[in-house]
């Protein structure tokens, strides 16, 4: 067993997770768009974890960071 004190980064075991379908609803795209992003070269979209051929999950924290990285703020006067 790996000690949590030796692992850096988010605590993926305790973080919330979205399925492809759940995330698609949240970001208002079709699930096929998320699937296409995952298979493009280079890979696009938020980071994901592929548990099996049919199961892909997205960490809530990763999705939040990805959305923040895509944010464009208008220039001030």
Residues of the domain holding 46: 15-69
Q: For residue 40, is it within any domain?
A: yes
Q: For residue 5, is it within any domain?
A: no
The residue among 53, 52, 48 whose CA lies nearest residue 22 is: 48
* CATH number (domain holding residue 30): 1.10.10
Query: Quick one: how far is CA 69 from the chain centroid?
Result: 12
Number of domains in the chain: 1
Q: For residue 47, is it within any domain?
A: yes
Q: For residue 4, is it within any domain?
A: no
Does the pLDDT value for residue 68 go beyond 60?
A: yes
Does the pLDDT value for residue 1 go beyond 70?
A: no
Q: For residue 32, is it within any domain?
A: yes
pTM of the model: 0.78
pLDDT in tens, 11-61: 777 779 999 999 999 999 999 999 999 999 999 999 999 999 999 999 999
Q: For residue 74, is it within any domain?
A: no
């Amino acid at each position: 067993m790996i000690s949590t004190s030796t692992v850096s980064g988010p605590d993926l075991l305790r973080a919330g997770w979205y399925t492809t379908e759940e995330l698609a609803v949240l970001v208002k795209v079709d699930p096929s768009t998320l699937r296409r992003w995952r298979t493009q070269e280079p890979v696009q979209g938020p980071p994901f974890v592929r548990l099996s051929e049919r199961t892909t999950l997205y960490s809530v924290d990763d999705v939040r960071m990805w959305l923040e990285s895509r944010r464009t703020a208008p220039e001030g006067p």
